[in-house]
A and B are shown apart, each in its own frame.
Chain A
Amino acid sequence: EAQVTQNPRYLITVTGKKLTVTCSQNMNHEYMSWYRQDPGLGLRQIYYSMNVEVTDKGDVPEGYKVSRKEKRNFPLILESPSPNQTSLYFCASSLSFLSRAASPLHFGNGTRLTVT
């Protein structure tokens, strides 16, 4: 089944303890991206990647890192989480985000992160 898989679904951690949220897609998509969703703010892009070893900042990259060593994986790393990073996080991928075909993003099921 074609899907974007995020893990974990729920995560509670403490300030300053490094964590990684994994994201994997099995559709051979080139484009992958991370978003955070906060009430009243919609979805905001954190980082995106056009292809392996190519990553770029979105609108709210501060406090986050990403890597794209393989096409299928795009982990989100919080080196020193803070309470203002408590949010719902979504990973998404697309076959041809930039091309004229403009295929839509496929979203993972989300990771609800709480930082105390």
Chain B
Amino acid sequence: ELKVEQNPLFLSMQEGKNYTIYCNYSTTSDRLYWYRQDPGKSLESLFVLLSNGAVKQEGRLMASLDTKARLSTLHITAAVHDLSATYFCALRGRTDKLIFGTGTRLQVFP
């Protein structure tokens, strides 16, 4: 059964700093998603990663996928307050279910 683990669960970081959120998963999957959720809001799609070595970037966020290590990372460069949100990774399991990580709550302070 596919299990998805994110860390850290909480991340408080200063503006301008860099940091990485990790998403580990237990079994093979053919796609990995990253989503963002603002407090009290719905989820917004950030990236879809399909293959080993895939890297996608949007603004200050960069996501990568290492299928051999069963690891995806979401790297934040020079954080700004607007990036404060909860970030989820999710993977499709063998039975077409979509399994979400527990989320990383990011707070960026001045």
Contact = CB atoms under 8 A, between A and B. Distances in A.
Interface of A: 33, 35, 40-45, 48, 50, 56, 58-59, 90, 92, 97-98, 100, 102-110
A98 B98 CA distance: 11
B102 interface: yes
Interface residues on B, range: 20 to 34
Nearest to B95: A56
A102 to B, nearest CB: 5
B88 A110 contact: no
B85 to A, nearest CB: 14
Contacts of A45: 97-99
A33 B44 CA distance: 15
Contact of B43 (A41, A59, A97, A107): A107
Contacts of A103: 48
B4 to A, nearest CB: 8
A109 B102 CA distance: 19
29 contacts: A40-B102, A41-B102, A42-B100, A42-B101, A42-B102, A42-B103, A43-B88, A43-B90, A43-B100, A45-B99, A48-B97, A48-B98, A56-B95, A90-B43, A97-B92, A97-B98, A100-B50, A102-B30, A102-B48, A103-B48, A104-B35, A104-B48, A105-B33, A105-B45, A105-B98, A106-B45, A107-B43, A109-B42, A110-B41
A29 to B, nearest CB: 13
A33 B100 CA distance: 13
Contacts of B92: 97
Interface string B49-72: 010000000000000000000000
Contacts of A100: 50
B75 interface: no
A50 B96 contact: yes
**List of 7 A-B pairs having minimum Cβ-Cβ separation, nearest first:** A104-B45, A42-B102, A43-B100, A107-B43, A107-B42, A42-B100, A102-B31
